[in-house]
A and B are shown apart, each in its own frame.
Chain A
Amino acid sequence: MFLLIYEGFGPLSEPIGYSYEVFRAIELTLISSAVSSAISVAVFTPLAYYLARNKNSLGETLSAIPASIPHPIIGVAILVIVSPLTPFGRFLLSVGINFFNTYLGLITALTIVSAPIYINSMQLFFQSMNVAHENYALGLGASKFRTFISVALPNAGRGILSASLISMSRAMSEFGSISIVAYYVLQQPFYGVNPAPVLIFQYYTYYGLGAAVTASAVMILVSIAMMIILRLVKQDNSKWMKGD
């Protein structure tokens, strides 16, 4: 990684690697990854809690599948499901919902590939929480749903932040599925912009190694900034779990 930064900003540096196009691609990647991470928080936090409190091998296996198959397959699967080949796809197209080269397709692919990491992180976080609080709430007549909403969730803020940053980092690095579903986005305000991993691949094939390495170096700096934030949040988390 440090070699890429050295080469990207040094011997192999190419001006196109710092171009406006690269920064737009990074912007698109950051925003779409953040949105996919927010979707994971909203949709998969209850699932992670359920898996943490109930032994469910089927649920755990199903939620881990996207992480264990080659990601181009996920891209292909999304395209097939929403294509005119299926009744569901025909219905979506008839109401104007299109996944190919749209934000919807990009964010769907990023959510599918990063959600297993979010679910796993949150499951571990919920398992590390003191269940005595929840058992006490249940004994006070609270339903399982109310216990989740009113007892577990208010104490899970730091875990959610940490898991969502991990999931966002994973989404930022995704290439396989989005290179099929959303090679670029054909919607404003990012019309014609490629996600950063796709743009780096494109630079490599069009302009050669130098341009790809320079753009990669810029992207790596952004990823390092993300990792530093994540590390700080995790340190804060461990202090909190120890009750400091």
Chain B
Amino acid sequence: MDLTLHVWRQKTRDAEGGFVTYRAENISSDASFLEMLDVVNERLIEKNEEPIHFEHDCREGICGSCGMMINGVAHGPVGGTATCQLHMRHFKDGDEITVEPWRARSFPVIKDLIVDRAPLDAIIQAGGYISVNTGSAVEANTLPIPKQIQELSMDAAECIQCGACVAQCPNGAAQLFTAAKVSHLGLLPQGQPERYERVVKMVETMESFFGSCTLFRECEAVCPKEISTKFIERMNRDFLAAKFKPSKEPVAQ
């Protein structure tokens, strides 16, 4: 198939960027979106033009490296898929496709389609873990976990930290990402001791970097792992509960 691409090019963080139009001809419909860009890049190199920079690695939809706005939609037109798993058969011959980096104030562009997503790690550093040093774990079957709880926790834990939720949100909010980690850990018995302290620290850090959630739910629609906004409700409940708890007083779980 033959396509016309309008791609955001920006040399460095501080440079001015703009759209450049490329023809992508003779693309196989079985190629992935990134493989289509590979082909475009090889042809650019032949013409002595610098290839389009974009982040990618596993190309199996799990590392969370890739991501771009494709015709204004994070990860493109097919739901539940990362850009690397989006295949060209979902486009038509002659299509015009606009390709931009993640749109979010908290994710400055590093080059072309590559952005800086460091604030997401900062949220994890604020409390997205269970504090257990190596060696101090109890035997694994000591605490039974109901299958339904484990499954629900896993639904949240599947988050790949790609940042699509932030990029799609009109407010640039990171609620879905934060809620996924808060819920993954907060649902499990092992996560109870730090449950309320965790949610407060993570939400406060999140708010220092990102916009506020006004329940557009666009995040859920573009999430490659289809993580539910129900986890945001859950996080909000935990956050409120934490705020109303008497501070510093130990509470039995």
Our verdict on whether A and B bind, yes or no, reads no
Residue positions of A touching B, CB distance < 8 A: none
Residue positions of B touching A, CB distance < 8 A: none
